[in-house]
């Protein structure tokens, strides 16, 4: 085992079979880490018993406080030099933990690192394959000098984590607590790097309701709030300029479609110029996103890729809506704060 001690920390809330598979994958590489700490976040399915059976040090929280609070509790109890945070629904690869240790050993200035999902998601349904493969593509095409953290596969030196104050426990659901931590780390001058070859397998099964709810309410809205609070957009990951342009193009297509329906209802024919403009916007949107669609084509073929396109454009649609709602909330709060600060 490396002289650098790695503490693996996993928050779990009713982990089920996916958690068992997560623990089994870690058992295969137990020589690569110093300790395994599982924080049972107010769970009711006795995941803590399963963790004990796999030899983990277990911390039980009486009430569910969210992964931020659970990870913080695990970090305080840890004795390792590096905290390696892993979600309860991922499996590590045979080399994952060892790669984490090597990265920190080779770079004394490295404060934290994040990895990537692999390209073989555990759940077989379309939405799970699409969402997890898109996440893989996003990380694999991102720049290595990162500005965010990632709790599903992210490691940080313990002393840095404690100094920075850990995760913000006001996030009581799986949300952007890891992204927010990354913002504080970079603002404080710490170095975060994305290691694209450090990968884990995501086992989560996404359904329509769970995907839309998580993306809109637990990711997009709070992320918008964080962006506006920090007054800056980084051209990386989900915030690339191409993604922002795609959002505008999707709304442009919707506006043109609504205009076409209105004109079709009030006139006998729609001018050819309208369809030319609509077609141009459609083609530009396809062209901008062609790299990701080529990726899906290589991985899953034509029919899968055809299904990806409307879901991908729907993602741009609700991301833009969330940003608009978040912006209006922010402006309202700014006005309120100005009124409160004005002396009577």
Average pLDDT over residues 267-289: 82
Here the CATH number for the domain that contains residue 189 is 3.90.550.10
Average pLDDT over residues 329-344: 68
Residues 51 and 182 in one domain: yes
Structure tokens at 258: 């609504």
Say if 258 falls within a structural domain.
yes
pLDDT at 235 over 60: no
Residues 244 and 202 in one domain: no
The model's confidence at residue 1, banded by pLDDT at 50, 70 and 90, is very low
Residues 40 and 95 in one domain: yes
User: Quick one: pLDDT at residue 224?
Assistant: 86
pLDDT at 163 over 70: yes
Q: Which of 206, 223, 257 is the last residue of a domain?
A: 206
Average pLDDT over residues 255-279: 71
Residues 129 and 258 in one domain: no
Do the Cβ atoms of 75 and 154 come closer than 8 Å? no
Residues 256 and 296 in one domain: yes
Q: Which of 182, 206, 230 is the last residue of a domain?
A: 206
Say if 285 falls within a structural domain.
yes
pLDDT at 270 over 80: no
pTM as predicted: 0.90
Instruction: State the total domains in the chain.
Output: 2
Residues 11 and 157 in one domain: yes
Residues 65 and 122 in one domain: yes
Say if 257 falls within a structural domain.
yes
pLDDT at 236 over 60: no
Rounded Cα gap, residues 290 and 56, in angstroms:
45
Residues 37 and 182 in one domain: yes
Residues 194 and 154 in one domain: yes
Residues 201 and 271 in one domain: no
- Could you tell me the residue range of the domain that residue 146 belongs to? 6-206
Structure tokens at 265: 């209802």
Residues 65 and 152 in one domain: yes
18-71 pLDDT, tens digit each: 999 999 999 999 999 999 999 999 977 889 999 999 999 999 999 999 999 999
User: Quick one: pLDDT at residue 229?
Assistant: 80
Residues 54 and 119 in one domain: yes
Say if 218 falls within a structural domain.
no
Do the Cβ atoms of 54 and 35 come closer than 8 Å? no
Q: Which of 191, 206, 221 is the last residue of a domain?
A: 206
Say if 216 falls within a structural domain.
no
Segments of the chain assigned E as strands: 6-12, 35-41, 57-61, 82-86, 90-92, 110-117, 145-146, 153-157, 191-202
Structure tokens at 43: 């769970």
106-142 pLDDT, tens digit each: 999 999 999 999 999 999 999 999 999 999 999 999 9
Say if 327 falls within a structural domain.
yes
* Tokens 């390209």 sit on residue: 119
Structure tokens at 231: 């007054």
User: Quick one: pLDDT at residue 228?
Assistant: 83
Say if 141 falls within a structural domain.
yes
Say if 225 falls within a structural domain.
no
**Among 325, 131, 317, 135, which Cα is nearest to 221's?**
325
């Amino acid at each position: 085992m490396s002289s650098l001690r790695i503490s693996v920390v996993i928050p779990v809330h009713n982990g089920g079979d996916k958690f068992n598979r997560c623990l089994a994958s870690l058992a295969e590489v137990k020589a690569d880490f110093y300790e395994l700490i599982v924080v049972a976040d107010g769970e009711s399915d006795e995941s803590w018993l399963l963790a004990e059976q796999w030899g983990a040090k277990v911390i039980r929280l009486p009430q569910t406080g969210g992964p931020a609070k659970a990870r913080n509790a695990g970090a305080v109890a840890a004795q390792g030099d590096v905290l390696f945070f892993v979600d309860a629904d991922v499996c590590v690869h045979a080399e994952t933990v060892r790669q984490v240790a090597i990265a920190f050993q080779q770079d004394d200035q490295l404060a934290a690192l994040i990895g990537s999902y692999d390209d073989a998601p555990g759940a077989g349904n379309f939405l799970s394959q699409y969402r997890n493969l898109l996440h893989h593509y996003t990380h694999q095409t991102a720049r290595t000098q990162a500005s965010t953290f990632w709790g599903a596969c992210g490691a940080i030196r313990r002393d840095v984590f404690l100094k920075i104050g850990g995760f913000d426990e006001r996030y009581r659901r799986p949300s952007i607590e890891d992204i927010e931590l990354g913002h504080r780390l970079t603002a404080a001058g710490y170095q975060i790097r994305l290691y694209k070859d450090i990968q884990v397998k995501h086992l989560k099964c996404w359904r329509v309701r769970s995907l839309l709810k998580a993306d809109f309410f637990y990711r997009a809205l709070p992320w918008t709030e964080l962006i506006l609070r920090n007054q800056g957009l980084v051209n990386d990951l989900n915030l690339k300029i191409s993604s922002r342009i795609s959002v505008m193009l999707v709304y442009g297509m919707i506006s043109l479609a609504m205009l076409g329906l209105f004109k079709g209802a009030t006139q006998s024919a729609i001018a050819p110029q309208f369809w030319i403009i609509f077609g141009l916007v459609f083609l530009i949107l396809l062209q901008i996103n062609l790299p990701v669609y080529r990726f899906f084509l290589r991985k899953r073929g034509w029919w899968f890729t055809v299904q990806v396109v409307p879901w991908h454009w729907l993602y741009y649609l609700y991301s833009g809506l969330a940003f608009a709602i978040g912006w209006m909330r922010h402006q309202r709060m700014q006005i309120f704060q100005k009124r409160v600060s004005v002396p009577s």
